[in-house]
């Protein structure tokens, strides 16, 4: 694997390999000194053009726990504010010779573009509405720890599917791992043809009781350019996951950040069914596994050919 741009490029074996590596790294996170020398001397550049709490902090922690050097770049406060383009920013920072660049942008396809401009391994940390592959991997990891596996598990992804890169990556990852995925929400927030990704579609929560896992999505108001729902109050009355709608046997997931009182009630966020904090915890070990896969695999240990003696 040279880059991680999307779940689309990962088969089940690749997902299982990363999740198994993350399980091995979980042991490191339980130690008093949470560090291994696996990526000593390597450099990871975090290039964030969009707000982030979970992804940015966990990639930084992951790189540091692997003993890599880390450079954090946020577009706000940088020369981007003076008009520097994404390409020129990447070319400028590539002069520092990073081994990996973790990229988050509001533009679909930007991570793939960045991979054409530098020899560093690129990790897509979220590109607009397209994909968020490490979120999907950490969600698979979290469910595997809770349920032992995803084969035959019914997962309902509820809410703003239309604007969600998490939904796209998770539908792909969950179905590849053998789960049965249903997406549910108002028709305006469910993209036409989403079934081609291998999921079912529902426009109400009447059958939510069938789900083993309820995965709520954030209402992405920053990506909405028109009124997609009549009002948030009406949305919440039909699609909010509340303690009343959740059964004690179901697991509740959310990628964060949560709009309390919109897609989730405060009671549901704080319920014993919620595994939201476990998802955040999984983010570090799964991102360690991704960086390790990219930098300690073929790239790092590719043998340097012996000089040919005449």
Tokens standing for 55?
A: 């992804």
User: Is residue 188 a contact partner of residue 195, using CB atoms and an 8 Å limit?
Assistant: no
User: Is residue 162 a contact partner of residue 155, using CB atoms and an 8 Å limit?
Assistant: no
Report how many helices (DSSP H) and strands (DSSP E) the chain contains, helices first.
Answer: 10, 9
Q: How far is the CB of 242 from ligand CP (least distance, A)?
A: 22
Q: How far is the CB of 33 from ligand CP (least distance, A)?
A: 26
Which is closer to ligand CP, CB of 58 or CB of 115? 58
Which is closer to ligand CP, CB of 51 or CB of 91? 51
Which is closer to ligand CP, CB of 52 or CB of 118? 52
Using the rule CB under 6 A, is 255 a contact of ligand CP?
yes
Q: How far is the CB of 283 from ligand CP (least distance, A)?
A: 8
Q: How far is the CB of 193 from ligand CP (least distance, A)?
A: 25
Q: How far is the CB of 300 from ligand CP (least distance, A)?
A: 27
Residue nearest to ligand CP (CB): 55
Query: Can you tell me which of 135, 142, 240, 250 binds ligand CP, judged by CB under 6 A?
Result: 135
Which is closer to ligand CP, CB of 38 or CB of 279? 279
Distance CA(167)–CA(88), nearest Å, equals 31
Distance CA(284)–CA(172), nearest Å, equals 21
Which is closer to ligand CP, CB of 106 or CB of 198? 106
Residue 45 neighbours by CB under 8 Å, 6+ apart: 70, 71, 73, 93, 96, 98, 100, 101, 102, 120
Using the rule CB under 6 A, is 146 a contact of ligand CP?
no
Q: One symbol per residue from 44 to 73: x for binding ligand CP (CB under 6 A), - otherwise; what is it?
A: --------xxxx------------------
Residue 126 CB burial class (10 angstroms; 0-12, 13-18, ≥19): buried
Instruction: Provide the b/e sequence for 196-206 (b: ≥16 CB within 10 Å).
Output: ebebebbeebe
Using the rule CB under 6 A, is 257 a contact of ligand CP?
yes
Distance CA(257)–CA(161), nearest Å, equals 15
Site for ligand CP in 166-225 (CB under 6 A): none
Which is closer to ligand CP, CB of 54 or CB of 299? 54
Using the rule CB under 6 A, is 124 a contact of ligand CP?
no
Tokens standing for 72?
A: 């954090």
Q: Are strands 154-158 and 213-216 parallel, antiparallel or unpaired?
A: parallel
Which is closer to ligand CP, CB of 52 or CB of 271? 52
Residue range at the interface with ligand CP (CB under 6 A); choices 6-14, 182-190, 253-261, 289-297: 253-261
Residue 258 CB burial class (10 angstroms; 0-12, 13-18, ≥19): middle
Q: Which residue has 């053998």 as its token pair?
A: 178
Using the rule CB under 6 A, is 256 a contact of ligand CP?
yes
Q: Give SS3 for 57.
A: helix
Residue range at the interface with ligand CP (CB under 6 A); choices 16-24, 116-124, 203-211, 254-262: 254-262
Which is closer to ligand CP, CB of 99 or CB of 139? 139
Q: How far is CA 121 from the centre of its chain?
A: 17
Residues at the site binding ligand CP, with contacts judged by CB under 6 A = 52-55, 126, 135, 255-257
């Amino acid at each position: 694997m040279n880059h991680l741009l999307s779940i689309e490029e990962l088969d089940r074996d690749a997902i299982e390999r990363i999740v198994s590596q993350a399980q091995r790294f979980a042991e490191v996170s339980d130690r008093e000194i949470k560090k291994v020398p696996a990526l000593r001397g390597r450099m990871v550049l975090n290039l964030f053009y969009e707000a982030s709490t979970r992804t940015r902090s966990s990639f930084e922690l992951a790189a540091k726990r692997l003993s890599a050097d880390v450079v954090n770049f946020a577009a706000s406060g940088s020369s981007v504010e003076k008009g520097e383009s994404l390409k020129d920013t990447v070319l400028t920072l590539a002069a520092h010779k990073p081994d990996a660049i973790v990229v988050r942008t509001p533009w679909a396809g930007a991570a793939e573009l960045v991979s054409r401009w530098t020899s560093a391994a690129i990790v897509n940390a979220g590109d607009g509405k397209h994909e968020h592959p490490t979120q999907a991997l950490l969600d698979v990891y979290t469910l595997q720890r809770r349920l032992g596996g995803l084969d035959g598990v019914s997962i309902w992804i509820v809410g703003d599917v239309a604007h969600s890169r998490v939904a796209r990556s998770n539908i792909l990852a969950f179905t590849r791992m053998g789960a049965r995925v249903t997406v549910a929400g108002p028709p305006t927030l469910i993209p036409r043809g989403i079934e081609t990704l291998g999921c079912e579609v529902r426009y109400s929560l009447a059958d939510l009781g069938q789900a083993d896992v309820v995965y709520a999505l954030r209402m992405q108001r920053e990506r909405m350019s028109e009124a997609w729902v009549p009002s948030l109050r009406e949305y919440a009355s039909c699609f909010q996951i509340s303690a009343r709608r959740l059964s004690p046997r179901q697991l509740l997931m959310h990628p964060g950040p949560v709009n309390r009182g919109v897609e989730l009630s405060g009671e549901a966020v704080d319920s014993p069914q919620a595994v939201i904090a476990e998802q955040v915890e999984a983010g570090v070990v799964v991102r360690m596994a991704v960086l390790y896969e990219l930098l300690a695999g073929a790239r790092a240990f590719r043998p340097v050919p012996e000089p040919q003696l005449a």
